[in-house]
A = this chain, B = another copy of it.
């Protein structure tokens, strides 16, 4: 496409470098920004720069934080004996919004994906193993996406934790709430049969 101005061309190319945003969407966003007040565009631009330059990570769980330790790690009312291992901050937010978990987190900063060039050394795995050896942690819960990369990462870390005496678990895979059985794929359905939950065990009278 030929753009009438170098400035808009640069802005479109920068916006189109974001994931899920193509040239057409970038053009639409650029035209939207042009129609906004100057303050609004400056606010957006500065927020993006500040995000990359000023954000800090919790030294204990590697989650994004405003200070050296995040609100979750410093909260004494959280269960210090359970650590939930997740890929990134998105997953912490998702699990926090369930209100079903009161332990601590450990953010890996990615998932083992050899095809994308992400190996164990790129992730916060060593600090997790060290933390488990040094603290009173009793259970590690893997909360990864249900795909090969998630399974590989869970397998790798559980091997690393062998011999530490800590219990290692993974969040349940099964039929999502609200989904009709007939529309579930066969792999999910097969795993949900294997990992069935016992409701009642009746004994003979």
Interface residues of A (CB under 8 A from B): 1-8, 10-11, 13-15, 17-20, 25, 27-34, 36, 38, 40-56, 58, 63-66, 70-72, 88-90, 92-93, 96-97
Q: Distance in Å from the Cβ of A30 to the closest Cβ of chain B?
A: 6
Bound-state Cα–Cα, A13 to B64, Å: 16
- For this chain, the copies found in one complex come to 2
Contacts of A19 in B (CB 8 A): 28-29, 32
CB contact under 8 A between A25 and B36, given known A2-B93, A49-B42, A51-B11: no
Name A's interface SS.
Answer: helix
B7 x A51 contact (CB < 8 A): yes
B18 x A64 contact (CB < 8 A): no
B89 x A4 contact (CB < 8 A): yes
Bound-state Cα–Cα, A54 to B11, Å: 12
B93 x A34 contact (CB < 8 A): no
Contact among B45, B66, B93 for A48, CB-based, below 8 A:
B45
